Amino acid sequence: MHIPDGFLTVPVWAGLAAVSVPLVGVAARRAQGEAEENRIPLLGVMGAFVFGAQMVNFPLAPGTSGHLFGGALLACTLGPASAVVVMTAVLAIQALVFQDGGVLALGANVFNMALVGVVAGYLPYWLWGQGAGRDLAVATGGFLSVMASATLALTELRLSGVVIPPAALWLALGVFALNAVAEGLITLLVVRSLDRLHPGWIRRADAPRSAAVKTVLGASVALAVIGLAVASAAPDGLDRLAEELGISDRSRILWETPLSDYQARFLPPGWLQQAAAGLAGISLAGACVAAVAKLLSRRRSA
């Protein structure tokens, strides 16, 4: 779902960047009110977990894969404002360090996944997720998060002059719907698991115990070290659509990094390249999110 550079026209990506920057700023100011010192480890490990989960693609349909988005998961565990900040940090690291999603298209990806995706993922939880219907709210949020982000991405391609025939459009929407169903189920499974570890985590009544934080961190490391090795190599829904439309060659990378495409290219080819890149990714994501949380906490105290 990460739109690369070259797919969107200047007015589209620049306009979305101009909208996303102030909206993320508003979210950061609201998150500042929740930025207590004892919540910093929570934000850091959730950022690392979502980064690791997004690296691991799973089969959806023949020749197509999907991955966890994490918007609904972050919104349910952290609250929508903090979730926007964490997801924005994850997307920025992916674009700048791993070339997953364009640098110029970062504003579009933030708008789709960190802003609209998070809000859509949180809406059912906010409406009816505080009681007996919580499980349905969490699963529905995961579904809506993916579908909202996917619909926006397709709309932005159309606004950029990409012609999508009806058959290809419906096929893409079908693939995204499968990803959305998987997102809802995975989000529900993770939320239930976290709630068993420490119920206050989901209700945000207090900070999670260190054992729960360590468990999520361990899961993040497992995703980075093992998940990439067994992940599907098939393209995701957006990449598959680009191949069918013949626009894959429009993709541009502004600069190469040693960790591009989640491969530590300074190491021998194979699993070690993937594992090293994965560990670097979750470390960067966790550290970056924790640093932002600490900054917000200091401003709150001041």
Candidate ranges 31-45, 189-203, 224-238, 247-261; pick with highest mean pLDDT = 247-261
Residue 39 CA to residue 300 CA, distance in Å, equals: 13
Q: Where in the chain are the domains?
A: 10-301
Percent of the residues in the chain that have a pLDDT greater than 90, as a whole number:
65
Q: Which residue has the higher pLDDT, 32 or 7?
A: 7
Q: How many CB atoms lie within 10 A of CB 49?
A: 28
C-beta atoms surrounding 177 within 10 Å: 16
Non-local CB neighbours of 163 within 8 Å, separated by 6+ positions:
245
> What is the mean predicted confidence (pLDDT) over 209-228?
82
Q: What whole-number distance in Å separates Cα of residue 119 and Cα of residue 289? A: 19
The top-level CATH class assigned to 10-301 is mainly alpha
Q: Is the pLDDT of residue 267 over 60?
A: yes
Residues in CB range of 62: below 8 A, 6 or more apart: none
Please check the confidence at residue 38 and state whether its pLDDT lies above 80: no
Q: By three-state DSSP, how is residue 36 classified?
A: coil
Q: Which two tokens stand for residue 239?
A: 């990449």
Q: How confident is the model at residue 302 (pLDDT cuts 50, 70, 90)?
A: low
188, exposed or middle or buried, with CB in 10 Å at 0-12, 13-18, 19+?
buried
> What is the Cα–Cα distance from 234 to 64, expressed in whole angstroms?
5
- Res. 42 pLDDT band, cuts 50 70 90: confident
